[in-house]
Amino acid sequence: MLPLKDNIPTDRPPVVTLALIAIELVAHFALHQHGGVLYLAGEILFLWWFGVSVEDAMSRPRFLAFCLLGGLCAIGLQIALDAGAEAAAIGASGAIASVLGGYLVLYPRARFVSVALVPFAFTLVELPAWVLVGVWLLLQAAFAATSHPLGGGSAVAFLAQAGGLAFGLLAVRAFAQRRKQPPPPSSARGRAEAALP
């Protein structure tokens, strides 16, 4: 199943989200950050899927501050739990986690139009946003439990990312200036189907 877009209408191009994705790419390849290409792709996809709507709910400077503070919360928790940890990598994941947490508070009923493979065909289905956040949490927990290098390599890294998520859940209302109500579930699928050739 591959999510395409949520059903939250946006008014502006996601300039800050795109800039953060570009920074993530440059940092990953220039600084040889933790994780491989699959982990990087996952971080970018989750930032794209959730960041666009969260950015649209704030001014661009507020969204940037929200992401940076979420990353700093994760780094602070990481250092408090393990002073020798690689803080930069955890900060990027923590910032993404804060965006996911903020999204859940702003849009608890949002849904993602996703492409699903059914026998002999592809079809469009709608998934609640919290399912994708749950998938992200399970992946991070699995990486931490197996000390997999893609996830930062330890339970401490997972707790730091959870700190970023908690920051997003608790602080997003102080940053958000507006939010939109998602349309009924069937209309998002209909718009996506109409857009397909």
| Statement: residue 133 has pLDDT above 50 | yes
How far from chain centre, in Å, is Cα 197? 29
How far from chain centre, in Å, is Cα 17? 10
* 160-188 burial: b if 16+ Cβ within 10 Å, else e: bbbbbbbbbbebbeebbeebbebeeeeeb
- 27 class by beta-carbon count within 10 Å (0-12 exposed, 13-18 middle, 19+ buried): middle
Neighbours of 151 (CB within 10 A): 24
pTM recorded for the entire structure = 0.82
How far from chain centre, in Å, is Cα 138? 14
Dump strand ranges (E) for the chain.
2-6, 111-118, 121-128
More confident position, 182 or 109? 109
Mapped onto helix, strand or coil, the DSSP state of residue 127 is strand
| Residue 147 pLDDT | 59
User: pLDDT-derived band of residue 86, with 50, 70 and 90 as boundaries?
Assistant: low
Domain-wise residue ranges, the chain: 2-195
Q: Does domain 2-195 have CATH number 1.20.1540?
A: yes
